């Protein structure tokens, strides 16, 4: 049993998919989870699923001032911050000659700039809390988990922006792991392969899109490509969101208290 009772966690992008599964695992372990999503409806729905200890704070994680607002709200409303999961993200794919500056920058904004701002926003509370605890002779471990992808470690055709942003967050993880070890903060990455979410549904003749800040963005994978990718996994299938959330729970738990700066790939074996 992993016991996170008394811990406060922020999970960005937790209105649906992997983020919701992460939030559910943390809440099941006893954490008070602050749910964030760009869309109010899914954020509040996840909050309701998690119960009275959860708090839904919808908003745009890429807006410059929002990360500080989110961190401050968690501390004010739930009394602290022990776990930060930078999960929010989406894909906006195209081959490089058709990728616009806006498209490339949007991938950097959500996958590395937003996590950077979240970490910076949390830094004051984490540092001051650790200094006080150390002066009292106590060691209290806190956790950061950043989400990356095998598009960063292995590359993915059509994903110059997504792969670049996900690679950059690995570098950010290892820098902050070096900076925050003195404050008893573990900073790690989980990298996903093919996980069953709305972003990898088979493309239909009508096409599949998601709306992000007023943009209609095409998502999905050609069925033949999806089948071929699945054969690359020794398990012969994509992972579930619950399976994706498991390694994140590990990094949020006391089991990882002496692990930092690491990247754990959850891909069903597609990575090697």
Distances (CA, A) of 112 to 94, 119, 250: 19, 11, 22
Distance separating alpha carbons of residues 146 and 168, to the nearest angstrom: 11
Contacts (Cβ under 8 Å, ≥6 apart) of 140:
129, 130, 133, 184
Contacts (Cβ under 8 Å, ≥6 apart) of 5:
29, 30, 31
Given the residues 162, 183, 192, 251, the one annotated as active site = 162
Q: Is 162 an annotated catalytic residue?
A: yes
Q: Helices 101-108 and 160-180: crossing angle, nearest 10°?
A: 30
Distance separating alpha carbons of residues 250 and 25, to the nearest angstrom: 10
Rg (CA), the chain: 18
Distances (CA, A) of 191 to 83, 109, 123, 152, 255: 18, 18, 24, 8, 19
CB 253 within 8 A of CB 4: yes
With b for 16 or more beta-carbon neighbours within 10 A and e for fewer, the 63-72 pattern comes to eeebbeebbe
Task: Give the chain's end-to-end CA distance (angstroms, integer).
Answer: 31
What are the tokens at 84?
A: 């930060």
The DSSP symbol for 111 reads I
Tell me which residues are annotated as active site.
162
């Amino acid at each position: 049993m992993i016991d996170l009772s008394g811990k406060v966690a922020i999970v960005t992008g937790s209105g649906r998919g992997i983020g919701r599964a992460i939030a559910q695992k943390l809440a099941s372990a006893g954490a008070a989870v602050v749910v964030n999503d760009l869309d109010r409806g899914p954020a509040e729905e996840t909050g309701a699923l998690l119960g009275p200890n959860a708090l839904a704070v919808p908003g745009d994680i890429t807006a410059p001032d929002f990360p500080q607002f989110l961190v401050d709200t968690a501390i004010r409303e739930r009394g602290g911050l022990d776990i930060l999961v930078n999960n929010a993200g989406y894909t906006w794919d195209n081959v490089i000659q058709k990728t616009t500056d806006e498209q490339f920058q949007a991938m950097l904004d959500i996958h590395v700039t937003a996590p950077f701002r979240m970490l910076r926003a949390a830094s004051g509370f984490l540092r001051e809390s650790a200094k006080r605890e150390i002066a009292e002779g106590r060691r209290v471990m806190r956790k950061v988990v950043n989400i990356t992808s095998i598009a960063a470690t292995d590359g993915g055709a059509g994903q110059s922006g997504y792969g670049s942003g996900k690679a950059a967050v690995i570098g950010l993880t290892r820098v902050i792991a070096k900076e925050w070890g003195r404050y008893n903060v573990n900073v790690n990455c989980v990298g996903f392969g093919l996980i069953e979410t709305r972003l990898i549904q088979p493309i239909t003749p009508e096409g599949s899109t998601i709306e992000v800040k007023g943009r209609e963005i095409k998502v999905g994978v050609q069925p033949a490509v999806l089948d071929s990718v699945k054969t690359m996994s020794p398990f012969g299938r994509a992972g579930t969101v619950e399976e994706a959330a498991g390694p994140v729970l590990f990094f949020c738990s006391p089991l990882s208290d002496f692990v930092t700066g690491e990247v754990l790939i959850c891909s069903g074996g597609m990575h090697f």
